[in-house]
Amino acid sequence: MLKDVSITEGATLTLDCPFCGGPKKLSLSKTLEGVTIWNCYRASCNAKGNRRGKRTAASLSRALNSPTQPQVINHRVTPLPSITKSFRNDPTAYQYVLDNNCEEAYDSNYINIRYAPAEKRVLFYNARETGCVGRSMANHRSKWWSYGDCQGGIHVGKGDTAVLVEDVASACSISRIPDLVGVALLGTNITEHIRNTLIIYKKAYLILDNDASHKAIKLSRSANIPLEVRLTKWDLKHLNVNQIESLIQ
């Protein structure tokens, strides 16, 4: 049933489950070794499995160059929340968006922001809205949670200069400056998927906390474009435009 679904190596799709009919309940991933993995997240459905297909030339080349370094994909994907509402209709969510300088990015159509009442999270979507990250407005153990496919990070803004930051609220804050695009790494690593998205930019900065200086240098060497590293003791989400501009000059 799934062998004809087109999916590239290293990618993950969220589909309607063909076994139980659950909407957006089936996670389908393909590892860099050409193994397709699927799993349904509906509790009443037992659909799961894997299938090895033909390997591409690029996959075989990676295997020959790094035979002892198997590539692993985390194929467990949480489906996007099915019920959301405007963040402005929830006082706590609205206050978070205001306090962290995210509203201007939303008003400029750089990013879609919603609120998921069941999850009690403010949702920040990627450009294709195939994935989002949710910021907890309650006492969740995990402050941030990813839904759907966010492997390419979340890019916020318009321009040809990228500013790589850890979280999406900081990316929204960056996007207030003309020609700057905040790129949320959704962590402190530049993954292969994110590296592939950086080729569209002419220039890029990487901004991390002062205590992550060694990490910043390591990350700058792993990107496929030159990165200018900046370190700060301030939270980017709470800086004004002039403060951010002085940081990257």
Tally of structural domains, the chain: 2
138 inside domain: yes
Q: Do 95 and 58 have their domain in common?
A: no
Listing DSSP states for 24-78 in one string gives T-EEEEE-TTSEEEEEE--TT---EEEEE-PPPHHHHHHHHH-TT---------P
Confidence of residue 71 (pLDDT cuts 50, 70, 90): very low
126 inside domain: yes
Confidence of residue 224 (pLDDT cuts 50, 70, 90): low
- 188 touches 208 (CB < 8 A): yes
Q: Which is more confidently placed, 178 or 210?
A: 178
What pLDDT, on a 0 to 100 scale, did the predictor assign at position 236? Answer: 92
What pLDDT, on a 0 to 100 scale, did the predictor assign at position 118? Answer: 94
Structure tokens at 207: 């901004």
- 171 touches 190 (CB < 8 A): no
- Interval 157-182 mean pLDDT: 95
Given a cut of 60, whether residue 63 has pLDDT beyond it is no
Mean pLDDT over all residues of the chain? 83
Given a cut of 90, whether residue 109 has pLDDT beyond it is yes
Q: Do 41 and 124 have their domain in common?
A: no
What pLDDT, on a 0 to 100 scale, did the predictor assign at position 49? Answer: 78
The percent of the chain in helix, strand and coil, each rounded to the nearest 5, is 25, 25, 45
Nearest to 131 by CA among 82, 80, 166, 189: 80
Domain that holds residue 128: 85-248
User: Residue 208: helix, strand or coil by DSSP?
Assistant: strand
What pLDDT, on a 0 to 100 scale, did the predictor assign at position 216? Answer: 64
80 inside domain: no
Given a cut of 80, whether residue 219 has pLDDT beyond it is no
Q: Which is more confidently placed, 34 or 191?
A: 191
For residue 139, give every residue at least 6 positions away whose Cβ sits within 8 Å of its Cβ, in sequence order, or none.
none
Given a cut of 50, whether residue 72 has pLDDT beyond it is no
Confidence of residue 54 (pLDDT cuts 50, 70, 90): low
Q: Do 36 and 141 have their domain in common?
A: no
Q: Could you tell me what percent of the chain has a pLDDT over 90?
A: 43
Task: Determine how many CB atoms are found less than 10 A away from the CB of residue 27.
Answer: 23
For residue 145, give every residue at least 6 positions away whose Cβ sits within 8 Å of its Cβ, in sequence order, or none.
78, 119, 121, 133, 134, 136
